[in-house]
């Protein structure tokens, strides 16, 4: 798709993308910008975030990109990101809850419970916190679209990343509850990627990308852009009758019954 053929269906809208200094979040921010939106990106570490903002600004005017360092688990940081987005761009029409962590691997019987609590706090509670702030600051009166980044691990057990998967299952249920409570003015959906080629998921294909992709019907791992294109659709008016849904972007892996 050429630059000229990219739809500008998000022109005049403002988006907030969390965890956007790299990987899926950065790709989503780039997709929304390419479709005409102004975008705030957040992440914990200022230096990578500023580098991401500079990268985004190469393909869009700098005044359409706002970078705000902050921890998604911090209520004050969430409020600041939402309020400054509205102050800077005049609205907050799109919220992408992309931030996710996974410090706990292996069997749940060996899991550190403090680590499990942290996973749920960042992956689930913080996402709800962002929606609450967006609702109060703009969406409650004007409407909008929310997309939560879930995972196929929230749909089918993995064994290896089970605490993470449980948090993503909770995020999927949260998505459904929010869609019911916030409609018709606010649409809330989730996307559930399988293994995407990012630093976050690198441990899942470190032994060899070809080997990791062999079980996928599409015979490749996903890319951040695969997810970003889907998110761009879900927040657009073309998806105006889709809410409360979790859309898999998994290369067909769940259809095999082996994942």
% helix / strand / coil in the chain, to the nearest 5? Answer: 50, 15, 35
Model pTM score: 0.94
> What is the sign of the dihedral through the CA atoms of 250, 31, 66 and 243?
negative
pLDDT the model gives residue 208: 67
Mean pLDDT by 10 residues, the chain (259 residues): 73 98 97 98 96 93 94 97 98 98 92 96 98 98 98 90 96 98 98 86 67 84 95 98 97 84
Which of 135, 164, 205, 216 is the catalytic position? Answer: 164
Domain locations in the chain?
A: 8-256
Instruction: Give me 163's structure tokens.
Output: 């605490």
pLDDT the model gives residue 53: 97
Burial label, 1 (beta-carbon count in 10 A; 0-12, 13-18, 19+): exposed
SS3 9: coil
Distance between CA 228 and CA 8 in Å, rounded?
15
- The Cβ-side half-sphere exposure at 178, using a 13 Å CA radius, reads 30
The reply to whether CATH 1.10.1740.10 applies to domain 8-256 is no
Whether 130 sits among the annotated catalytic residues: the reply is no
pLDDT the model gives residue 4: 54
């Amino acid at each position: 798709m050429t630059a000229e053929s990219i739809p500008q269906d998000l022109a005049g809208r403002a988006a907030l993308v969390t965890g956007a200094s790299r990987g899926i979040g950065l790709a989503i921010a780039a997709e929304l910008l390419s479709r005409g939106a102004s975008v705030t990106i957040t992440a914990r570490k200022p230096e990578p975030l500023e580098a991401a903002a500079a990268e985004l600004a190469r393909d869009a005017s700098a005044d359409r990109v706002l970078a705000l360092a902050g921890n998604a688990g911090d209520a004050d940081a969430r409020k600041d990101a939402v309020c400054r987005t509205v102050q800077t761009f005049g609205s907050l029409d799109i919220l992408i809850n992309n931030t996710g962590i996974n410090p706990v691997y292996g069997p749940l019987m060996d899991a550190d419970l403090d680590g499990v609590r942290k996973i749920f706090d960042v992956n689930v509670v913080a996402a709800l916190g962002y929606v609450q702030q967006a609702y109060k600051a703009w969406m409650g009166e004007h409407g909008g679209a929310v997309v939560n980044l879930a995972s196929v691990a929230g749909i089918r057990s993995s064994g290896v990343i089970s605490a993470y998967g449980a948090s993503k299952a909770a995020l999927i249920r949260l998505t459904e509850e929010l869609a019911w409570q916030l409609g018709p003015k606010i649409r809330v959906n989730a996307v559930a990627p399988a293994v995407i080629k990012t630093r976050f998921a690198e441990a899942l294909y470190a032994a060899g990308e070809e080997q990791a992709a062999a079980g996928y019907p599409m015979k490749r791992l996903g890319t951040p852009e695969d997810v970003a294109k889907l998110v761009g659709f879900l927040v657009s008016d073309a998806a105006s009758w889709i809410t409360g849904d979790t859309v898999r972007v998994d290369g067909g892996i769940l259809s095999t019954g082996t994942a």
